[in-house]
Amino acid sequence: MVGCLWAGAPVAAQWLLVPMDRSQTDHLKAYGLTYWCLQEPRSYECEWLLNYRCGAFVIPGSEDVRARAQAMGVSVETLDEGARQGILARIQTENMERIVLTKAPKVAVYVPPDAEPWDDAVRLALEYAEIKYDNLWDREVLAGKLADYEWLHLHHEDFTGQFGKFFSQFQHAPWYRRMVLSSRRAAAELGYAGVPQLKGAVAESISRWVSNGGFLFAMCSATDSLDVSLAARGVDIVPPELDGTPMDPNPDAKLNYSATLAFKDFHIEKNPLLTELSDIDVPPKGRSLVSTGERFRLFEFSAKQDPIATMLTQCHVNALPDYLGQTTAFRRGCLKGSVIVLGDYPGQDKVKYIHGDHGDGTFTFLAGHDPEDYAHVVGEPAPELIMHRHSPGYRLILNNILFPAAKTKERKT
């Protein structure tokens, strides 16, 4: 039988179903509950039922799990073995799949030690879902600390060493001046000629970590700046006011696209007054800070043939409101042929959400800054996720957290 656990007195059950359709009281904490089950010392095996009730989870029905679900405010339903087998029989005949989750990945976030005037959607998601993570920055990455982690999120960052190209707007702002001084100090202490060289070395370290089997997730400016940095190693693309040396007059001719993860055939933006690093990003027309109601769609994949893409797109909606960022969308023509588009804008030359392999690891890039704030400006307070606990955009972030926990079959397409 299947029944709501909180309808009456607690019912002993072998399994609990965590629905992820609109009946769920807190979609975001549901991921945290499943992660908690996978963590040591519990190390409970769980299941992810792709495309069943919008990506439901099956977790143990033990008393400690039931108590944790109630404490977190997550809706669960009792599930005996007969009902579970009935669900599995249905999965065999429909576009669904059962994925076994075996281990909670160890999570790190690339974030500076100094406070900055913007929030990070992934840290907000992790903290709200009660998933622990560690902070890493340049020193830790270059010291090889990434080897201790399975999953890494890249902070809102400029890996080209141009400080987000904020110079023209914020050169006198205290936070900008602190960022520049601390970055230059770190570069000197670590033996690099300047911040572009330091950030380039960090980008290469991250790329090697992914190639060795790491799971990388990035949003906003970290997505394209990582690849621009990797392609431009040894090429001067930094305006003179930042490092005192002249910019290469023809940097595009020297870019090495074979070093990148996701993008190719892009061109460097040399105008220091524009915040774009390259033409990978497709900024909104007119740069209005008011939403026009545009949405991006999630693709539907074969759960049995493409379980990874299906995991990353589990949601209770198939079209999501758009939101801006330093990198708002990716130009379709700049994608490498091996990249899988998970979400795009129908009929347009831009995409929002992509995934791909890099060596033995994977990367997933989600454009935009905050799924619940259309135009999050510098200095604006972070959103309160208790008000957005059903956020489909934040669900995409948390899909990526559980993705490394899965035992998956090799993709067939």
Q: Is the pLDDT score of 105 beyond 50?
A: yes
pLDDT single digits (tens) 239-286 = 777 776 777 888 898 999 999 999 999 999 888 878 889 999 998 776
Q: Given pLDDT bands bounded at 50, 70 and 90, which one contains residue 374?
A: low
Whether residues 192 and 167 fall in one domain = yes
Whether residues 75 and 117 fall in one domain = no
Q: What is the mean pLDDT of the chain?
A: 89
Whether residues 365 and 225 fall in one domain = yes
Q: Is residue 309 one of the residues assigned to a domain? A: no
Domain of residue 209, residue span? 107-289+324-382
Q: Given pLDDT bands bounded at 50, 70 and 90, which one contains residue 372?
A: confident
Whether residues 223 and 341 fall in one domain = yes
Domain CATH number, residue 162: 3.40.50
Whether residues 11 and 56 fall in one domain = yes
Percent of the chain with pLDDT over 70: 90
Whether residues 280 and 216 fall in one domain = yes
pLDDT, mean of residues 328-336:
97
Whether residues 95 and 210 fall in one domain = no
Whether residues 81 and 140 fall in one domain = no
Output the pTM of the full model.
0.92
Given 52, 80, 101, the domain boundary residue is: 101
Whether residues 74 and 181 fall in one domain = no
Q: Is residue 390 one of the residues assigned to a domain? A: no
Given 73, 101, 129, the domain boundary residue is: 101
pLDDT of residue 409: 47
Whether residues 86 and 126 fall in one domain = no
Q: Is residue 196 one of the residues assigned to a domain? A: yes
pLDDT single digits (tens) 375-402 = 656 656 677 888 889 999 999 999 999 9
Q: Are 379 and 17 in contact (CB under 8 A)?
A: no
pLDDT, mean of residues 109-115:
85
Q: Is residue 387 one of the residues assigned to a domain? A: no
Q: Is residue 246 one of the residues assigned to a domain? A: yes
pLDDT single digits (tens) 29-78 = 999 999 999 999 999 999 999 999 999 999 999 999 999 999 999 999 99
Whether residues 93 and 111 fall in one domain = no
Whether residues 202 and 79 fall in one domain = no
Q: Given pLDDT bands bounded at 50, 70 and 90, which one contains residue 11?
A: very low
Q: Is residue 307 one of the residues assigned to a domain? A: no
